[in-house]
Amino acid sequence: MSRWMPPEDSSWDLVFQYVCFNDNCPYYVEGWKQMKEKYSHHCSYRFRYDPHTGQMGPLPVWSAGALRGRIIDQGKDE
């Protein structure tokens, strides 16, 4: 998991969250198939955890490189 900063115009507080940027993570890999089959969209999601609120859930992404520019530090992907 890597520390990640939400965009300023998001509805989240501007405090870091943890996001799994491991491209081999089953959650991310299966997300491509799930979104294509259920919604006919070419996108997926990554696992997100907000340590300040305890909230967990999907972070939508449209490519493998999407949102990586907001990683605060590389951390260890799991």
Q: Compute the distance between CA of residue 18 and CA of residue 70 in angstroms, rounded to an integer.
A: 11
Flag whether 62 is in a domain: yes
Task: State the pTM of this model.
Answer: 0.85
The residue written with tokens 């449209």 in the block is: 62
* Inside any domain, residue 32: yes
In a domain? residue 29: yes
> In the predicted model, is pLDDT for residue 51 greater than 60?
yes
Residue 78 lies in a domain: no
Question: In this structure, what token pair is assigned to residue 46?
Answer: 């990554």
Calculate mean pLDDT across residues 15-19: 93
Question: Within a domain: residue 19?
Answer: yes
Q: Is residue 8 part of a domain?
A: yes
Q: Is residue 21 part of a domain?
A: yes
Q: Please give the Cα distance from 17 to 53 (Å, whole number).
A: 10
How far lies 39's CA from each of 25, 44, 55, 60, 62, in Å? Answer: 21, 11, 25, 13, 14
pLDDT per residue as tens digits for the range 31-48: 999 999 999 999 999 999
Tally of structural domains, the chain? 1
Identify the domain containing residue 21 by its residue range.
2-73
Given a cut of 70, whether residue 74 has pLDDT beyond it is no
Q: How far is CA 23 from the centre of its chain?
A: 11
Instruction: Note whether residue 45 is domain-resident.
Output: yes
Q: pLDDT (tens digit, 9 = 90+) per residue, 52-71?
A: 999 999 999 999 999 999 99
